[in-house]
Chain A
């Protein structure tokens, strides 16, 4: 059996202790511990469906070993959906119909949120680059771009929780 240990990690603002074998990916570990909003699409870092933030930076959780996040902060889409103040990205995606099958949506929101903290007023090129690791087969990206631009505007006007 592979070596297993308990790691402490903050998931969406809550301190957790997760047991994980040495060879387990963060994707598998998060899902095993109930974070089903983190999606498995390719397990090779090609599609971005499993994207999460580690200390604020968007990464593919399928390419990250669970042990690597010990002591760090992991944010999933659930973490952007604070009951009191959901992230403006969520409202914008709903308003513009930027969600179809929804399977890529958690990863895209995670990538977009990370970008918006660096680039509050993104151009189309900024958005395209930020999402270049996130495949979507349903939407053609048009409504996703519109929604992200709207969320950026709301955030610049002081909306949302930060």
Chain B
């Protein structure tokens, strides 16, 4: 089967699957459950040095002088690097691409040369014989920072005379979408409803802080074994070191959580510089505080909706104004902003749409990728707005959604026809039903329910020309090997590839071994970001396995004296289903094939749909390969005396096309429920004058076992996606609707809305008093 022949719409087809669609134990599970899996921080080397990063504790200032001589003189200190010791190169902050394209003028300084733009900006790198010596050296570096006026909110950053963090005007990205005629649409409306919603800075809070180990090998190649979502930053690292791309290799390990926080460059740049300078192995392990201070955050957004609606609840026009705090460096802000703008209308048919958006630089911590990537913030706004519209009109909230939902075959606000099933309504119906009987209120405890539905892309922006490669081979004993650069960040990215290969080659998942995450020796698969790993690399494995299967079937047909279309592969056998006398084991088949010179491996590339960028003025054109639709529904109890919210029921219902491993899909939905609950109720990074004042888990509160209800998962399978076997994506979509569902449930319980996340007890009590 070639790429073009993958059936995109198989809803009616009777597909027999033997491995795919089963809740198989993941290939990575046993190593993790027994503690045998080695994470990046568990590797050591003889002669290894220990690194540390000195950072600015002021957000906006001028480094007047920095003197590392005392630190360098300390016995056991091998190297201290400052900006003066580095060539005047920059570090890329762009998305790694396979095309060699790169944005202009958005790079950052590697170490502070003079101007400090955010709290935590690195001043110096230390490598010493022991961690204790590195700590001492850290204290011996003398420096003076002259504070400068900074700008810490997006409105102030646009004032005339505001300090300029990013030239020329602090605006680092803008996107517009124009569809239909909003003036006409508002004229047709019976009601116009306007609200502004705010979201906060939040932290990925993966359990494994950033860590890595680098060494220069005998060929002069800088090797970096590290915890990352993106091994293909090796190119940017090579550029920063001033060496050819083939002289840097990044090896991954199982990643202890990513969520977008290990998408940008983290420790690998510092590791590479220190390994290059010392020619010794260097280990750098961030402390939790380093991690809080050292990587980009989720963008705070302000999203204003102005919606025109008829008295029957038909939306006639929508205007949205979006602004995002991009912090002190550009990183992925322009893309996050685009995601928010494209997602802003939600899964609704709206003929007249006008969206304006801007990402604005401040001296806050830079913001970048975070599960949901702007689309999550968009959903916080549009789903709250739907409930507010229903309240104004006196229409049932769910009925209002039904009257406006996009249906299969509809176009998005950018004019992109969605080629897959649009089952937002089906998902909402099932999620609501699963909530069951409503819990009874008692005294000051009020009960509320809320849903949020969504439309969210999977796969990268289509003008990035995204590709992914995988290699599949069968050994002479009939076992299977998959090689692909994909990084596994805990969602079972590698194991899913094994399940796809097992399905197509007629073996069990136990018969497959997967080698992944090595930029030098595994075919490059792109990033584990953008809900793309299963979609893209799954398709590459599908193609490679299918092509290999075709050759094996043709060879087996010769051996079994049958026609190729009569031969099937399953349970480790090649056989003719209608003739029990004609069968042979895959082991014998592979061995016979080897002796006859049969090619027993296949390298395949999958290419996402390629498009040109959308029109800058209208935003019209295709933006993403495809979209996932779904719904999260919750029931909450709110103590109106204390403002405390307890989530009683939490249900995610998502059409994910085809579950490759349903248990892993449930894992995503359950994890998304937790992360979204924290986003709604408790998580917020507090910056004062740009300085993070909550850099620990005792101040930054993620939900614990005490806070979480049992989460129910409903998996719908339209088999209509672009992924393998009609799969869509679930990694990010699982999170997106959770926070707005909780916000809507709280508003339902207390009869008034808190417009700013997180919805803390203080805000609830204040809202109730007003």
Q: Which residues of A contact B (CB under 8 A)?
A: 2, 31, 36-37, 39-44, 46-47, 49, 76-78, 81, 86, 90, 93-97, 99-106, 109, 124, 127-132, 134-145
In angstroms, Cα B206 to Cα A11, docked, is: 28
Q: Which residues of B contact A (CB under 8 A)?
A: 23, 25-26, 28-39, 41-42, 132, 204-209, 254-257, 259, 285, 287-288, 489-492, 663-664, 666-667, 670-675, 696-698, 702, 704-706, 708, 710-711
Decide if A100 touches B490 in the complex (CB within 8 Å).
yes
Chain A nearest Cβ from B92, distance in angstroms: 27
Decide if B257 touches A94 in the complex (CB within 8 Å).
no
In angstroms, Cα B671 to Cα A129, docked, is: 19
Decide if B208 touches A81 in the complex (CB within 8 Å).
no
In angstroms, Cα B666 to Cα A100, docked, is: 11
Chain A residue with minimal CB distance to B26?
A97
Chain A nearest Cβ from B306, distance in angstroms: 36
Decide if A101 touches B257 in the complex (CB within 8 Å).
yes
In angstroms, Cα B28 to Cα A90, docked, is: 13
Note all chain A residues with C-beta closer than 8 A to B33.
90, 93-94, 99, 102, 105, 109
Chain B residue with minimal CB distance to A47?
B697
Main secondary structure of the interface of B (DSSP, over half): loop
Query: Given A132-B706, A143-B670, 11 more contacts at CB 8 Å?
Result: A36-B35, A78-B35, A94-B29, A95-B25, A100-B671, A127-B705, A132-B704, A137-B257, A140-B670, A142-B670, A145-B710
Decide if B207 touches A139 in the complex (CB within 8 Å).
no
Note all chain B residues with C-beta closer than 8 A to A100.
490-492, 667, 671
In angstroms, Cα B205 to Cα A42, docked, is: 10
Q: A101-B206, A139-B667, A141-B705 are in contact. Are A44 and B255 (CB under 8 A)?
A: no
Note all chain A residues with C-beta closer than 8 A to B28.
99, 102
Among A47, A77, A94, A103, contact of B30 (Cβ-Cβ < 8 Å): A94
Chain B residue with minimal CB distance to A145?
B710
In angstroms, Cα B647 to Cα A141, docked, is: 14
Decide if B674 touches A137 in the complex (CB within 8 Å).
yes
User: What are the 7 closest A-B residue pairs judged by CB atoms, nearest first?
Assistant: A101-B490, A37-B35, A102-B32, A103-B256, A140-B670, A46-B697, A77-B35
In angstroms, Cα B663 to Cα A61, docked, is: 32
Decide if A139 touches B671 in the complex (CB within 8 Å).
yes
In angstroms, Cα B706 to Cα A130, docked, is: 9
Chain B nearest Cβ from A105, distance in angstroms: 6
In angstroms, Cα B405 to Cα A82, docked, is: 55
In angstroms, Cα B289 to Cα A41, docked, is: 10
Decide if A41 touches B257 in the complex (CB within 8 Å).
no
Chain A to chain B contacts (Cβ below 8 Å), 6 pairs:
A36-B42, A44-B696, A78-B34, A93-B33, A101-B490, A102-B28
Decide if A137 touches B696 in the complex (CB within 8 Å).
no
Chain A nearest Cβ from B369, distance in angstroms: 16
Decide if B697 touches A102 in the complex (CB within 8 Å).
no
In angstroms, Cα B102 to Cα A65, docked, is: 49
Decide if A128 touches B705 in the complex (CB within 8 Å).
yes
In angstroms, Cα B489 to Cα A143, docked, is: 18
Chain A nearest Cβ from B141, distance in angstroms: 22
Note all chain A residues with C-beta closer than 8 A to B702.
135, 137
Note all chain A residues with C-beta closer than 8 A to B204.
137
Chain A residue with minimal CB distance to B208?
A103
Decide if A97 touches B663 in the complex (CB within 8 Å).
yes
In angstroms, Cα B579 to Cα A125, docked, is: 58
Chain B residue with minimal CB distance to A36?
B42
In angstroms, Cα B667 to Cα A143, docked, is: 8
Chain A residue with minimal CB distance to B292?
A42
Chain B residue with minimal CB distance to A146?
B710
Note all chain B residues with C-beta closer than 8 A to A90.
33-34
In angstroms, Cα B288 to Cα A99, docked, is: 22
Chain B nearest Cβ from A25, distance in angstroms: 12
Among A40, A93, A101, A129, contact of B706 (Cβ-Cβ < 8 Å): A129
Chain A nearest Cβ from B37, distance in angstroms: 6
Note all chain A residues with C-beta closer than 8 A to B663.
96-97
Chain B nearest Cβ from A23, distance in angstroms: 9
Residue in A100, A127, A136 whose Cβ sees the most chain B Cβ within 10 Å: A100
Decide if B255 touches A101 in the complex (CB within 8 Å).
yes
Residue in A36, A99, A106, A129 whose Cβ sees the most chain B Cβ within 10 Å: A99
In angstroms, Cα B286 to Cα A54, docked, is: 27
Among A42, A106, A131, contact of B697 (Cβ-Cβ < 8 Å): A42
Note all chain A residues with C-beta closer than 8 A to B254.
101-102
Decide if A138 touches B704 in the complex (CB within 8 Å).
no
Note all chain B residues with C-beta closer than 8 A to A142.
670, 708, 710-711
Among B256, B287, B673, contact of A101 (Cβ-Cβ < 8 Å): B256
In angstroms, Cα B664 to Cα A43, docked, is: 30
In angstroms, Cα B708 to Cα A145, docked, is: 11
Note all chain B residues with C-beta closer than 8 A to A129.
705-706
Among A47, A97, A103, contact of B664 (Cβ-Cβ < 8 Å): A97
